[in-house]
Structure 1
Amino acid sequence: MLLPTRPCGPLLAAVLPCLASPLAAQSTDPGNSEPEPAGPTIVVTGALESRSLQSLDTPGLGLAVDADQIAAVNAINTEDVIRYAPGLVVRKRYIGDANATLSLRNMHTTQTPRALVSVDGFVIANFLGASFDTAPKWGVLAPGDIARAEIVYGPSSARYSGHALGGVLRLETEPVSRTAVSLGAQSFFQSYRYYETDEDLFGYALDARADLALGSGGISFAWRHFENEGQPQQWRTVAPGTPYAAQATIDDALGFPLRIAAQDSVVDAREDQFRLRANQELGGDWELRALAALLLDRDGTSEPKSFLTDGDGQPTFVGIAGVTLGRSRSAELLAGLGLKGHLGDWSLDLAVSRFETLDDRSRQSDPADLATGLIPQGGIVTDENARWTTIELTVERAIGPHRLALGASYAGYAGRSRTAPVSDWRTAAPGPVRNASGGKSELIGLFVEDAISLTPALEATLGLRYERWRAADGFLQNAGARVDYRGRTDAAWSPKVALAWRVSDTSELSASLAWATRFPTIGELYQASLIAYGPNVGEIDLGGFDPDLAPERGFDMQVTARQRLGTIDLTLSGYRQNVRDTLFGQTILVAGPGEVPVSQSLITNIGAVETWGVDFIVAAEDVVIEGLSFDGNISWIDARIEGNPLNPALEGNRFPRVPEWRANASLRYAVSDAFELAASVRHQSTPERNLENSASSRCDTFFCVSSFAFVDLKASVDFGPFALDLGVDNLLGERAFVFHPYPGRTFVAGLRWTGGRP
């Protein structure tokens, strides 16, 4: 419920004397039969009632993205729904990008094991590595399935594993409660221009969903077909002095000339989703939920284009390095089953899920011959196998002034990758293995957390988590050479402490301390690099990585002030996080032939990375006029390397891909019950591209990680059973890069029909 407006408390008034916004209190879920805690209700969100966390399971900063906010987004893929949330970015290179990684606050875009992502309690985060290709499995849902998204920043709660070092994203679907059928179509278009690239790119999605009410529950069947042409992801350069190099476009933005001579192929992305969701009340206050999703993906990059022409005026790849052709296919399955209810005075929630790669094969040609410009028939085939099983059990009850929670969890991950040469990259069966790697990991966790009402206005939360980690069956293979690695085990205790003070009915201060340990993934432990010197250059270096990497150990502090004035909410949150033994790739000097130092790039432990940050979040409804809503946030982040024994010269540098500023704003106007307009902007400043913070690190062109300011518009109209959406993303055609280019101006149109009965 919304709290009545009262004057600010004296302490909060001193902290926020001139701010005209407040914060909503934790809302009470009317369907929750659990006893009310004796202590104060902790404010945990920077938005209004519907944007508050529905379950109070964190003493730190958290917020929700509700249905109204989601409706204002031109959502084509699932990850789009959190586009304007504070302090985060999704590295989505093009529409349909399977490698759309999530970064919260101070995370590099490859530090994927620091973000715990789930759907209805079922884990979709990929903890098999730390790379661009270990993004969450967003494709288990379509955007229209999502009712709300809840975000918790930092490792403030003992309920979550060390993979919550950056934060937690919980996607939630709407329970099936009525019989209905819906059919939808969506189309999108962008005209992409850069260098000599000139592409008109189209895409569309078709989906159908049937919901069937079954007594006190229901089941939903859904299918979605998606196709899109993504803009070329890289441009290729030509070496000076080659026959046609003089025709290249010169880009000097990096401080040295890039001779742009060709573009990679447009990305032909296709996906079919088959989804099943179910929820059923079993009687006696027990409820069952289920989710199953089959994903079929096909990608193709078979039409690279050269900007150079030969003597006959024909395009040529002579002298252009790295031009290849490729295609891939995958089939993935996720299944989850959940049960919640009461055993006496205890409430219980159990979630079990399994992800399995049924098929994952990519084919790629060898690079074009520099002398002839011809792309060879030969190439490589890579087969990937991945699977994980997760189990989460939590029990809770209120005992006097205590709200006690106990829990146990299990996560088992296994992965294997195999690459082999083929005589014909399109169709031939793979030959003897060229290289392979793989391994397994397990993480078992136990936790206890107690929220204690010390006074009607003061609540303390004490938590402790124990985790035991095991890595096994790690191996690397290079042709006939194979190395198997011994298993490893480790354990860690992670305490959490928080204090929340309700200064008044509309004001609150809270502070939290949290320790967290994030153990290495398979990909970090068993990820080979290439030999950089001697007669075996380019082959896998079986000793070029560290299977004994230490875990990351983080210490996180957060202080948050919250205030509400009428229909305006505000949150001001400051934090400091220090992570010892940060896992990240860096270039170091190692002994080469004859003990001559040579450069080697590999994943290492960086001594310490320290971050200071501030998040300022405002939400308002009925601003100036009825029906006008606003959400805005701005984040300042200063992440720096404080210790690095392997390369002390990097100490003091900013951590890469973490911008100093992020900001988002969304203005929505409900003209009527059937007509809504939205205008939004998302911005980040230019981050450093590399650990060295070199002169070429900060720029606004291809190869860089640039700033951006994207302006998005959307209009929605309902007429009877039909809903029409029209929108445009990146209205101003901003050119921005995350090494790869982000999409240009993109027009989106969608039409949906829904028919049903209660």
Structure 2
Amino acid sequence: MMAVLAAGLQAAAQAEESAMLREVAVQSGRSSVVDGNPSASAQVTAEDMRDINVTNVEDALRYVPSLHVRKRYIGDRNSIVASRTSGTQQSARSLVYADGLLLSNLLGNSFAYPPRWNMVGAEEVESIDVLYGSFSALLPGNAAGATVLMTTRQPQQFEAHARAQVFTQHYSLYGTDASFGGHQEQAFLGGREGALSWSLMLNHLDSKSQPMSFATAASKGAALGGDAVVSSGFYRDKDPAGKDRVILGATSIDRNFQDIAKLRVAYDFSRDTRAAVTLAQWRNDSYSNSQTYLRGAAGNEIWSSASGNVNIDGRRYGLAASAFAPSDRNEENRLLGLTLESRLNAQWRLETAVSKYDTLRDVTRAPTVTRPAADAGGAGNITFADGTGWQNLDLRAVWTPAGSGHKVTFGYHYDEYTLRSLRYGAANWRRDGSVGAMNNLSEGKTRTDAFYVQDAWKLAPRWELTLGLRHENWQAYDGRIFTTTLGDNRFASRNQGFTSPKASLAWQATPDWLLRLSLAQAYRMPTVSELFQTESRGNATAISDPNLKPEHVFYKDLTAEGSALGGNLRVSLFEEVVRDALYSQTDINLVTSNQNVDKVRARGFETAYQAKNVGLAGLDLGGSLTYTDAKILENHRLPASQGRVMPRIPDWRLSLFAAYRIDERWTASAGLKYSGRQFNTLDNSDTHQDTFGGTSKYTTLDTRLSYRFHKLMSASIGIDNLTNEKYYVFHPYPQRTVHAELRMDY
């Protein structure tokens, strides 16, 4: 079918070759946040993405210096961004935008609050810029880790792109030995008719993950008569603290179906004024399954025990009713955004971006009865998150007085985040069941009004000074928590103001080398879920704190960047000190909650190199090396963590990538990533790291080979984790995964 379509499009192209094209105004889609940003940065282009095994758009960031996206499998909805000073437990310390519209889910600060990558298709990307640190007054303190700015294509004439992908991995760990994979189809169409341009992106993904977790248990002592007797199927190993345990089965095997539709329409009122409207809808249906390894004497599967324990070799091991519980989630999300750019004259430019992200439907169902009876229904919980979402407004003006050497940017930012989570008991947890009494509720809102000014001043031909100031008025209100244990709790509103100065001095030392020193203060506000989401989870309660302080960040960066070794070389020294850092921790009173850690510090260096046609025509190389010394300096609530390494920040990171255009038809590429020692806990007690629940050192190698067999058609095959490395960042990551792709570009 794609070949027939390609033939028709080629005929149309030949008919148009002699036609005179109307002159159009080609405008950059980048916001002024990128222009003159006083920090280290990196970029990935659409051309670069062709050489990477990209399924979802976040894969394009795989080899960006110091960056890691916690993507556990294809179709993972919890892919949060980690940077050189922030780990994969801190989703609120990064920002992701697409065409000026915020995609970051700043409702929370954990794996459960990832950016909404789904709202951008890989086929529509023109470029991705990554900024490090909170050095721009135009950005909130969430930029302390990294800011990802995606720019999509702005068609100037009709174009069409389509691709079909299949992928599979053979996964072997403990008692699971099976293949997991799926397929994805994506299309992008765009065009221009006079002053009106448009684009349409459609995507369908069908994917099944490897197990994300495993049911585990430690010995409770001698078995009792009522315990179910296990003859085989269990696996013995050690937990991250080095203690003995048994593996009872695999859980969180996710089967998900995702559909995305996105329409973007832009209108050029003149050569200098352009407005664009974006409407995107994302739907996800997922089912999380499990697998028991346990077998009785007759070979029968053991899913549960009336006593809540099983007998393994005469010892008792706990088997909770929820150990193998499945879950069913159905969600629908919508993004609506408007951007307006206008150059009033040679000195003034205006920019506006307004967006609203709505969770139209989010229903999660899970049983409280044991399997296999739960497969047919039975008691459970149904959780609704409908109405959760956020809205943002940015008004910005850029003033460049003629002959002054100044470029002044000033503006206003507004955001509001709404949390709404209601959980009900149900006699039947499945989709045909109805809700009963409410047993958990979390609600609340936060709002920020910010004003900022930033001046990039050309002091002399080789010197530029950038000064910025950002003032934020932050509010938290309408907070309410209900659990059957804690009762109904409502919280008083909070209203606080914070001011953040920024400064950067850049020196063009030689025509090829730039040296820049940047300093910044910033505040990362507590998220609405850190303040107001308390949940009962089995016998434990995850506690929020409505009185949390914001993180107070002081960041320093010294960067040298220029031409070397036939390419571009950047070396950065950095240090970030954070007071009242926000983490979930279990303190000396054995209370697990969101807490302020008194003082943490991350310092180190980062090198990045890129070059084209290295040694021979068509060979492009890139790479980076980062060292981070991340320490917890003060933590009065958990003194055992003082002097320990901050969680989920590796000491060393290495990435290497090479692409070789063999000829006009063939391209080969390979990428390597290394991640060094890291910990999952604040007190670094998880020293046994190469196991489920641990955080491994790892080295992965990816390869790809592409062949263009027609002017409009190409095919490729790629392998991620070629050496089949088995590694963990708490969850087990994918093993060797094979990709095959067929694409059309017109």
Question: So what's the TM-score if we normalise by structure 2?
Answer: 0.89
| Corresponding residue of 1:579 | 578
Report how far residue 64 of structure 1 moved: 1.1
Deviation string, structure 1 residues 235-257 (Cα, Å, up to 9, x no partner): 11255445444631111364222
Letter paired with 1:310: G
RMSD of aligned alpha carbons: 2.3
| Corresponding residue of 1:23 | none
Q: 2: distance between equivalents of 1:565 and 1:686?
A: 30
The gaps in structure 2 that reach 5 residues or longer are: 1-24, 305-309, 311-318
Write out aligned runs for 1:607-646 (5 A).
Answer: 607-646=598-637
389-398 vs 436-445, which moves further: 389-398
| Corresponding residue of 1:652 | 643
- Which of 707, 715, 718 matches 2:705? 715
| Corresponding residue of 1:43 | none
- Which of 364, 367, 370 matches 1:368? 370
Q: 2: distance between equivalents of 1:745 and 1:135?
A: 25
Report how far residue 715 of structure 1 moved: 1.4
Report how far residue 645 of structure 1 moved: 2.1
Contact kept, 8 Å, 1:401 with 1:452, in 2: the verdict is: yes
Change (3 A) 1:33 1:481: closer
Deviation string, structure 1 residues 719-750 (Cα, Å, up to 9, x no partner): 22112121111111111112111111111111
| Corresponding residue of 2:510 | 504
Deviation string, structure 1 residues 630-668 (Cα, Å, up to 9, x no partner): 010011111111111222332111111111011111100
Write out aligned runs for 1:252-291 (5 A).
Answer: 252=238, 254=240, 255-264=242-251, 266-291=253-278
Secondary structure (helix, strand or coil) at the match of 1:266 reads strand
Q: 1: distance between equivalents of 2:740 and 2:31?
A: 30
Letter paired with 2:194: G
| Corresponding residue of 2:279 | 292
Contact kept, 8 Å, 1:686 with 1:698, in 2: the verdict is: no
Identity %: 29
623-632 vs 715-724, which moves further: 715-724
Q: 2: distance between equivalents of 1:529 and 1:469?
A: 25
| Corresponding residue of 1:129 | 108
Choose between structure 1 and 2 for higher RCO, CA contacts under 8 A separated by at least 6 residues. Answer: 1
Secondary structure (helix, strand or coil) at the match of 2:58 reads helix
Report how far residue 374 of structure 1 moved: 9.3
| Corresponding residue of 2:662 | 671
Q: 1: distance between equivalents of 2:154 and 2:521?
A: 35
| Corresponding residue of 1:9 | none
Q: Which consecutive aligned stretches of 4+ in structure 1 deviate over 6 angstroms post-superposition?
A: 51-54, 372-376
Q: 2: distance between equivalents of 1:33 and 1:291?
A: 17
Q: 2: distance between equivalents of 1:65 and 1:604?
A: 36
| Corresponding residue of 1:332 | 333
Change (3 A) 1:180 1:604: same
1:600 aligns with 2:579: no
Secondary structure (helix, strand or coil) at the match of 1:571 reads strand
Change (3 A) 1:280 1:263: same
Deviation string, structure 1 residues 17-57 (Cα, Å, up to 9, x no partner): xxxxxxxxxxxxx96799xxxxxxxxxxxxxxxx9999423
Write out aligned runs for 1:10-89 (5 A).
Answer: 55-89=34-68
| Corresponding residue of 2:315 | none
Contact kept, 8 Å, 2:40 with 2:132, in 1: the verdict is: yes
Change (3 A) 1:707 1:239: closer
198-207 vs 659-668, which moves further: 198-207
| Corresponding residue of 1:485 | 491
| Corresponding residue of 2:292 | 306
Q: 1: distance between equivalents of 2:297 and 2:479?
A: 53
Secondary structure (helix, strand or coil) at the match of 1:690 reads coil
Letter paired with 1:412: E
Change (3 A) 1:367 1:440: same
| Corresponding residue of 2:545 | 546
Q: 1: distance between equivalents of 2:228 and 2:96?
A: 51
Q: 1: distance between equivalents of 2:428 and 2:383?
A: 14
Letter paired with 1:588: D
Q: 2: distance between equivalents of 1:206 and 1:219?
A: 21
| Corresponding residue of 2:22 | none
Report how far residue 58 of structure 1 moved: 1.4
Contact kept, 8 Å, 2:123 with 2:161, in 1: the verdict is: no
Contact kept, 8 Å, 1:62 with 1:150, in 2: the verdict is: yes
Secondary structure (helix, strand or coil) at the match of 1:131 reads coil
Q: 1: distance between equivalents of 2:27 and 2:200?
A: 27
494-503 vs 211-220, which moves further: 211-220
Q: 2: distance between equivalents of 1:62 and 1:114?
A: 16
Letter paired with 1:492: F
Contact kept, 8 Å, 1:176 with 1:217, in 2: the verdict is: no
Change (3 A) 1:353 1:323: same
| Corresponding residue of 1:409 | 413
The gaps in structure 1 that reach 5 residues or longer are: 1-29, 35-50, 532-536, 591-598
Report how far residue 144 of structure 1 moved: 1.4
Deviation string, structure 1 residues 578-632 (Cα, Å, up to 9, x no partner): 0000011111234xxxxxxxx1100111101011121000111111101100010
Letter paired with 1:266: I
Change (3 A) 1:373 1:182: closer
Deviation string, structure 1 residues 479-507 (Cα, Å, up to 9, x no partner): 49311101101111100011000011101
Query: How many residue pairs align between the two structures?
Result: 692
Contact kept, 8 Å, 2:231 with 2:296, in 1: the verdict is: no
Write out aligned runs for 1:131-146 (5 A).
Answer: 131-146=110-125
Contact kept, 8 Å, 1:474 with 1:484, in 2: the verdict is: yes
Change (3 A) 1:264 1:538: closer
| Corresponding residue of 2:524 | 518
Change (3 A) 1:253 1:552: closer
| Corresponding residue of 2:77 | 98
Secondary structure (helix, strand or coil) at the match of 1:433 reads strand
Deviation string, structure 1 residues 250-283 (Cα, Å, up to 9, x no partner): 1136422221121115310110011112233211
Q: 2: distance between equivalents of 1:265 and 1:647?
A: 31
Deviation string, structure 1 residues 496-544 (Cα, Å, up to 9, x no partner): 011000011101111011000111111111132659xxxxx93758xx5
| Corresponding residue of 1:454 | 459
Contact kept, 8 Å, 1:703 with 1:737, in 2: the verdict is: yes
Question: So what's the TM-score if we normalise by structure 1?
Answer: 0.88
Report how far residue 327 of structure 1 moved: 1.0
1:420 aligns with 2:424: yes
Letter paired with 1:408: Y
Deviation string, structure 1 residues 427-467 (Cα, Å, up to 9, x no partner): 21111110100101111111111111111011111111111
Contact kept, 8 Å, 1:352 with 1:391, in 2: the verdict is: yes
562-571 vs 196-205, which moves further: 562-571
Contact kept, 8 Å, 2:440 with 2:535, in 1: the verdict is: no
Q: 1: distance between equivalents of 2:217 and 2:593?
A: 28
Q: 2: distance between equivalents of 1:753 and 1:180?
A: 11
Change (3 A) 1:613 1:375: farther
| Corresponding residue of 1:355 | 357
